[in-house]
Amino acid sequence: MVVSGIIVAAGTYPNIIPETSKLVYHIRGETAKDLDDLVPRVEACFAAAAQASGCTMRTEKGLQYKELVHNVALTKTFRKHGRALGEWTMASSILAFFAVSH
């Protein structure tokens, strides 16, 4: 699991507390379950930091993608029939994007 972020807007001097600031964080996990477990913990850390510093906070969640589940049988079938029809073929790493997920 990975939590990474940056400050995209804040004050201009270290000795002046800004009225507002904005942070952007990405939270990643290997599975959707990982994210379901991790996101509330990260949000709790943000809330604790806001409370400790006497600030308020709000979060906006972006899109959440489920992990890609590769369907090897479908990939092989797609390749076999594509070749039989004289269609172009692709490397197996590219065919992975034709996976059927969830």
* Nearest alpha carbon to residue 64 among 39, 44, 43: 39
Residue type (1 letter), 53: S
Using pLDDT thresholds of 50, 70 and 90, give the confidence band for residue 7: very high
- Domain locations along the chain: 2-52, 68-102
Residue 97 clears pLDDT 70, i.e. is over it: no
Whether residue 83 is predicted with pLDDT greater than 90 in this model: the reply is no
Band the pLDDT of 99: cuts 50, 70, 90: low
Confidence check: pLDDT of 2 > 60: yes
Closest CA to 28 of 5, 9, 53, 8: 5
Is the pTM higher than 0.85? The answer reads no
Can you tell me the distance from the alpha carbon of 33 to that of 102, in angstroms, rounded to the nearest whole number?
Answer: 13
